Structure 1
Amino acid sequence: VTPLKHFTEAVEKESGGRVKFKFYHSGQLYKGKEEFAALERGDIDMTSPLDIYNTGIVPELGISNLPFMWGDPGSLQKTLDAGLWDLGINDKLLKHNMVVLGVAAGGPYQIYSKKFPVYIPKDMEGKKWGISGSTASKATELLGGTPTTMSSGELYLALQRGTIDGCTRPLITGLGRKLYEVVEHLSVTNMAYFCSFLAINKKKWDSLPKDVQEIMKKAAKERDQEQLQRLKTFMKKAIELYKEKGVKVHVATQEELAKFKDKMSPVYDWWLTKVPGGKKYIEFAETHH
């Protein structure tokens, strides 16, 4: 929330008070999956939805979730800053009455496991995994595992009971859900991502003076970078926290990650059947990270 709060404060200050925000956080007005439609209707002026909640509306948003495309959040942010969404995502969102001001990398997914460590793809074979989303499901199958789609709230019990052998989730989710109580191993692979994008309702945007628009664009870019720095700091702290809780943490090497990525090209091919215009996004990502 803090980078967004800083965004609102910066815009209020730089605009000399011509812009004022009413700030509602943590789903006070709308739940995560409702924000997009509320912004499109104009029920709210601005929000920061997650891309992965809205791939049903704009399939190209799923690019961030492709496995082993980016080694760390900084490389994803570099691709975003280079203009990944200018290839067509921003135009598609404009058709839904929203102007995108910034896009920030979210916390990458890691591999949690109960009684065995995961170093290479073979370690996932024959095991049951709690995952989220169709892309992760496809990736898990390719790695020889059996995927079960689960919400974060279901993971703890499923791990405790042995319904699943492991799961993939960001570090913050594992801490929030206390997964360290029911897993023994954590492999930091940064296997897939999500992004949060800062968007404003088009009608509201068009009503703002040009200089205020420029102020907002600049503040939005600053918010993206602040979020990245906070994420990097958090990830370091989180890894130490897991260790303190008795979890054996393995940070994947470049060689290990290359083995995972080698297995993933069929996921990219599958994604392209769902997203006919997706090839340019993959090519852009591979040349701008």
Structure 2
Amino acid sequence: MQMKALVLAAAALVWAPAAMAQQTETIRLTIASSHPPVIPWVLAMKNTVVTKSNKALEAKGSKYRIEWNEAYGGVLFNFENTIEAVEQGITDFGWVGTLWEPAKMPLHNIGFYTPFANDSPDVIVKVMDEMSNKNPSFAKEWESNGAVFFSTTTSDSYQLFTKFPVRSLADLKGKKLLAAGAVGGWVEGLGATFVNAGIPTFYNALQTGVGDGVVLIPSGAIPIKLHEVAPHVTIVNLGAVAFGGFAVNKKKWESLPAEVRDVLKPIALEYAMENVRIVKEREKAGMERIVNEGAKIYVLPDDERKRWATAMPNLAKAWVEDNEKKGVPARQIMKDYMAALRKAGAKPLRDWDAGL
């Protein structure tokens, strides 16, 4: 009897893990981006939900595990179709570039109509996450596009990367400057020509003469080695802005088991500050590295920065008027946004809410 009992006990020990393994259910999810994972805001997705989700599910004792299909670098869609890719379920989770969606997501482009307002990515995350979650008009832009918003993608401050040295605004006259979407408005008033393009195309565009320079963030320029074709870096500090967000297809999100959503949401909310951490870390190290590799850095004097800010058309007023016509309370939103920036410590070089 004792021998039989021992055999049965041993069999039970062998069977138990196998039974537990059989009970594990795999959920297959796709996470994708138009940009490669060398870019901070893509790497931040990988570092949060992809890396941490299964560990968190296991720690919670959940029977679910996620099998991630990672499709970065434009494998599934390009930079002009990020919100459509999430909305249509081409990807389940994805980075959405709101800067290329001025028609569908105008409120999330507010930072591009308030240049020289703030240099801190921490401030932008705080302000934009709050507005995206608490302001009904902001929230509607995600909901109407079939997406559930998690957290904001923000940048370091925009600078100039050019083939030629820039010592004053006069040096930009007649030049072709590449930039993404709404950044083009910053070029107006300088006598330069704006060429709309995305980060994946910048290097070749400069190399082939499509452009003479780029208005871009260092954390986006350094990974693609933009300094090889545009070795003159002018520190302008046009501003850190929110230019996208991390989101999930609404139908897919609602179809997930509640315990999986409960695990994924707090991890996804870590995305914004993980991106900020990477951005700051890379900007510091990257600027030092490109100088060693031959880049020449020049800090544009404050009087030239002020001239640039003043030379711009009233971008904020035009943005407000355009959106008010569509029934969006853009005037109050602009006032609230600028007030929130100042409250958080920002010192705008131009008061974009003045006279609204």
Please point out which of 137, 143, 161 is paired with 1:112: 161
Q: Secondary structure at the match of 2:96?
A: coil
With structure 2 as the length reference, what TM-score do the two structures score? 0.68
1:215 aligns with 2:267: no
2:232 equivalent in structure 1: 185
Which range moved further: 236-245 or 211-220? 211-220
Report if the CA contact (8 A) 1:108-1:194 is conserved: no
CA distance in 2, matches of 1:232, 1:42: 32
Structure 1 stretches lacking a partner, 5+ long = none
Q: Secondary structure at the match of 2:238?
A: coil
1:222-261 equivalences under 5 Å are 222-251=270-299, 257-261=305-309
1:157 aligns with 2:208: yes
CA distance in 2, matches of 1:35, 1:167: 22
Q: What are the Cα deviations for residues 158-200 of structure 1, in whole angstroms up to 9, with x where unaligned?
A: 2xxxx75533123245445544344452122342545331212
Greater Rg over alpha carbons, structure: 2
CA distance in 2, matches of 1:190, 1:201: 35
Structure 2 stretches lacking a partner, 5+ long = 1-41, 342-356
Q: What are the Cα deviations for residues 26-73 of structure 1, in whole angstroms up to 9, with x where unaligned?
A: 233333333422321234322122111322322223223232232132
1:35-114 equivalences under 5 Å are 35-66=82-113, 67-84=115-132, 86-87=134-135, 88-114=137-163
1:287 aligns with 2:328: no
CA distance in 2, matches of 1:84, 1:287: 16
Which range moved further: 174-183 or 32-41? 174-183
CA distance in 1, matches of 2:302, 2:320: 26
Please point out which of 23, 27, 32 is paired with 2:79: 32
Greater RCO between the two (CA within 8 Å, min separation 6)? Answer: 1
Q: What are the Cα deviations for residues 10-41 of structure 1, in whole angstroms up to 9, with x where unaligned?
A: 23222335251423232333333334223212
1:137 equivalent in structure 2: 184
Identity within the alignment, %:
20
Question: Per the alignment, do residues 148 and 41 of structure 1 end up closer, same or farther by CA in structure 2, a change over 3 Å counting?
Answer: closer
Q: Secondary structure at the match of 2:188?
A: helix
Q: What are the Cα deviations for residues 93-132 of structure 1, in whole angstroms up to 9, with x where unaligned?
A: 21222111111213543112344324x6x34552413223
Task: Report the residue type matching 1:7 in the other structure.
Answer: V
1:14 aligns with 2:68: no
CA distance in 2, matches of 1:285, 1:255: 26
Task: Report the residue type matching 2:110 in the other structure.
Answer: I
Q: What are the Cα deviations for residues 111-154 of structure 1, in whole angstroms up to 9, with x where unaligned?
A: 12344324x6x345524132235533332122343334455131
Measured on the aligned residues, the alpha-carbon RMSD in Å equals 2.9
2:248 equivalent in structure 1: 200
Question: Per the alignment, do residues 268 and 211 of structure 1 end up closer, same or farther by CA in structure 2, a change over 3 Å counting?
Answer: same
